[in-house]
Structure 1
């Protein structure tokens, strides 16, 4: 396949347009005008929408330099995933005609996200990040908007294992005020997925300007977070609809927590022994007699 990135796809279609067949030109025109809809259409449905056969759609993808329609579709999805508004995402949810189809569709999509993440994640980078967590004087975690839940989850468990973790959040003080003392001895873990929060990117750039090591947990090496980081842990987050899929990112973060915990087994045992006593004393968890 040609080296067609998401920024060059439209130019590629325009350049090849003059030598396309009549049917292929109809496909090109539809994609140029409605790429946000085309990205989630099967080859058959796209062909039906423009009045050509499924095989014409496949030949069109090959003419653009792709090995098949799925590769073209993936490029279209990469193109739009950071540009779609929430309203547009809701419109795309119409391909789930029932609650059952939504359940099955979303679970299957999340399974695929985890499968692809497992195949693509760089194990050496993962090990390097674990090492940096132990080397850092202080660890800052930034994840805003839909990534807030994931950032808080990571911060909650790392705080049980380590005593130098700070989750940067929206609040009374600005993000930069919470990071005022960040320096070259520290580590910043930035979490962000489409649509990327601009303030998270600002935080990563601010940390790098202070000489801080920056790790991005994001969906692609083309992500603006990855571009602002020294290391990137990639977790696929292809959306099923207007709700961001954070299943694979959360799985990577679970693995990160466990990898850190494996090096602190003795401390973990003491911490949770103390916590169990506290939880029991203050009835933190419900205790029902077994039947």
Structure 2
């Protein structure tokens, strides 16, 4: 087997896996060469799960246990350049930042491949969507909501800390969906609001980064956000929007076209002389 074969095995096993196991499988797929020299507890810490979840993830992927998996990967003798070495040899800041963003997108790919169909189906099945966040993440969530509204219609953004959030909660139905985004800063207001939403609808999509908190949700998407600066990268979230736009248009082209044409008609009215 090659490293890519292991990664494919982890990706396939992550589909409809329990949240903690899925999170471990995503980490294993994104960091497969590192398994050769990492301990179970270290992997669990990186993935934000328990060591038991890592073991269950390994077994779900078809291996007898972690020792068996590690032995197979060690046999391939993978070479893992230290992160500091990559940065140290970078000639300038621009190159360093772009290299890191490319690395984030590379990490994102197996996650999206494993979950994009499920997320697309989930979005298309919702009668109404609320996208919520708070603090520094609010502007990012509003951008996500605007794109979803442009394509799907029936999408609202609300700051989880606002009074409007609780009014929208009042009108939430069991077939509606709520997308909660909490990174690069983790907001307890967002988690609390989603907890209340979960009492009215089971359809919660939780988007955070690899180190983000765990909350009960129907779907969980963890995005890579590594950065060389003080501010976490949000490139993966922007890429997610682009991928979803293509997936939605392929899945229901007439609906998407109708919504875009309606938006364009309003745009023309607003810009008439």
Same fold (TM over 0.5): yes
Residue 185 (structure 2) aligns with: 195
Name stretches of at least 5 consecutive residues in structure 1 with no aligned partner: 10-66, 74-94, 285-291
Work out whether 1:158 is the aligned partner of 2:148: yes
Please point out which of 134, 144, 149 is paired with 1:144.
134
Deviations 1:250-284, CA, capped at 9 Å, x for gaps: 11122123322223322333444454455455448
Residue 235 (structure 1) aligns with: 223
The two structures have a TM-score, normalised by structure 2, of: 0.61
The two structures have a TM-score, normalised by structure 1, of: 0.58
Work out whether 1:131 is the aligned partner of 2:168: no
SS in 2 for 1:209: coil
* Native 8 Å contact 1:125 1:231 kept in 2: no
SS in 2 for 1:156: helix
How far did residue 127 of structure 1 move? Answer: 1.4
How far did residue 236 of structure 1 move? Answer: 0.2
Superposition RMSD in Å: 3.3
Distance 1:271-1:112 versus aligned 2 partners, 3 A rule: same
* Native 8 Å contact 1:139 1:189 kept in 2: yes
Rounded Cα–Cα distance in structure 1 between residues aligned with 2:108 and 2:196: 28
Rounded Cα–Cα distance in structure 2 between residues aligned with 1:136 and 1:265: 17
Rounded Cα–Cα distance in structure 1 between residues aligned with 2:243 and 2:45: 35
Distance 1:276-1:227 versus aligned 2 partners, 3 A rule: closer
Deviations 1:183-219, CA, capped at 9 Å, x for gaps: 4222111112243111111122222233431111221
SS in 2 for 1:215: strand
SS in 1 for 2:153: coil
* Native 8 Å contact 2:130 2:156 kept in 1: yes
* Native 8 Å contact 1:261 1:268 kept in 2: yes
Residue 242 (structure 2) aligns with: 254
Give the total of aligned pairs. Answer: 200
How far did residue 230 of structure 1 move? Answer: 2.1
Work out whether 1:4 is the aligned partner of 2:36: no
How far did residue 101 of structure 1 move? Answer: 2.6
Bigger radius of gyration, 1 or 2?
A: 1
Name stretches of at least 5 consecutive residues in structure 2 with no aligned partner: 1-37, 47-78
Query: How do residues 74-223 of structure 1 correspond to structure 2 at under 5 angstroms?
Result: 101-119=92-110, 121=111, 123-169=113-159, 173-220=163-210, 223=212
